Amino acid sequence: MIQEAEGIVTGAMETILAISATAGPDIPFVRPEHESLVELGRYKKRGRMIEPAGELTNDEACSLLEAVGRDGDIQSFETLFRYYGPRVKAYMARLTRDPNIAEELMQEVMITVWNKAGQFEATRGNAGTWIFTIARNLRIDAYRKNRRPDFDVNDPAFVPDDTKSAENALADRQDATRLKDAMKDLPQEQIQLLTLSFFDDCSHSKIATKLNLPLGTVKSRIRLAFARLRAALEDGK
């Protein structure tokens, strides 16, 4: 079983790129309930499964990431892996039906989390967002051949924030809690549009076609969703 698994590792990213190039980024991925069960069955034959950890608060996740970054603590890393590994893999699986590709991309994400955990505290107070951002960047790099230009906060021409820098990590963590609550209150139709946008690589016009909605409706629902979230965060201040 282990050998089978290690066979997959050979070639790592090159293989992923080659396979995903043929799979293409545009596969509509609407995962029916039963499909994940089929997949589960397939895995059961191959090896013992990790039970995905069900609960991890943001504070816990932040402490674990700090322990990994500061001390290279492998046990903290394993706890993070049990919680986030299955989620990262689920995110990767939205653009590919091949579980091996999803697995390899998840491995790449988690090794990056290990490598970059030391940078976490200085960036932002939300562990889930931080890991998601790493996963998203790796996914873009795997599925898109072109470069991924980004701004550079260390560039002397960069215009820094005037207020945000003064805020501390605690305020950021309170924001994270408020945002979590606000997301729970969003109407399902708005959650659906955000999911299609962020997880399924759908542009506004693609969503409009997919859901048979006017483009204007898609735009206004998305605008509304962010306006609600912004208002919820500002209410808490």
Partner 1 sequence: MNIRHHLSDELLVGFASGTLEEGWRLAVATHLALCPNCRARLTLMEDAAGELFESISPVPIEVSSFDRLKQRIRNGERNRSASPRQPTEAVKMVSPPTIPEPLRTYLGGDLADLKWKSLGRGAYHIPIKLADRSTTARLLRIPAGKPVPEHSHGGRELTLVLRGSFHDGELLFARGDIEEADASVEHQPVATPGQDCICLAVTDAPLRFSSWFMRLLQPVLRI
Site for partner 1 in 147-166 (CB under 8 A): 147-162, 164
- Residues 4 to 63: which contact partner 1 by CB under 8 A? 5-6, 9, 36, 39-40, 43, 46-50, 52
Least distance between partner 1 and beta carbon 212 (Å) = 19
- Residues 217 to 236: which contact partner 1 by CB under 8 A? 219, 222-223, 225-226, 229-230, 233
Locus of tokens 């609960």:
55
Cβ closer to partner 1: 18 or 74? Answer: 74
Tell me how far apart the alpha carbons of residues 190 and 202 are, in angstroms, rounded to a whole number.
Answer: 14
Taking CB under 8 A as the criterion, the residue among 145, 168, 185, 212 binding partner 1 is 145
Tell me how far apart the alpha carbons of residues 235 and 229 are, in angstroms, rounded to a whole number.
Answer: 10
Give the H/E segment covering residue 131. Answer: helix 127-143
Cβ closer to partner 1: 99 or 211? Answer: 99
Q: x/- string (CB under 8 A) for partner 1, residues 165-204?
A: ----------xx--xx--x-------x--xx-xxx-xxxx
Residue pair 182/174 in contact by the 8 Å Cβ criterion: no
Q: Which of 119, 187, 138, 154 is nearest to 17 (CA)?
A: 138
Cβ closer to partner 1: 19 or 192? Answer: 192
Q: Which of 74, 59, 24, 65 is nearest to 172 (CA)?
A: 59
Tell me how far apart the alpha carbons of residues 146 and 162 are, in angstroms, rounded to a whole number.
Answer: 33
Residue pair 112/141 in contact by the 8 Å Cβ criterion: no
Q: Which of 178, 196, 62 is nearest to 129 (CA)?
A: 62
Cβ closer to partner 1: 19 or 190? Answer: 190
Q: Contact between 121 and partner 1 (CB under 8 A)?
A: yes
Tell me how far apart the alpha carbons of residues 122 and 128 are, in angstroms, rounded to a whole number.
Answer: 15
Taking CB under 8 A as the criterion, the residue among 60, 128, 173, 210 binding partner 1 is 128
Least distance between partner 1 and beta carbon 117 (Å) = 7
Least distance between partner 1 and beta carbon 123 (Å) = 7
Q: Contact between 97 and partner 1 (CB under 8 A)?
A: no
Least distance between partner 1 and beta carbon 169 (Å) = 12
Rg (CA), the chain: 19
Q: Contact between 210 and partner 1 (CB under 8 A)?
A: no
Least distance between partner 1 and beta carbon 142 (Å) = 10
Measured over the CA atoms of residue 130, residue 132, residue 136 and residue 138, the dihedral's sign is positive
Residue pair 178/233 in contact by the 8 Å Cβ criterion: yes
Least distance between partner 1 and beta carbon 113 (Å) = 10
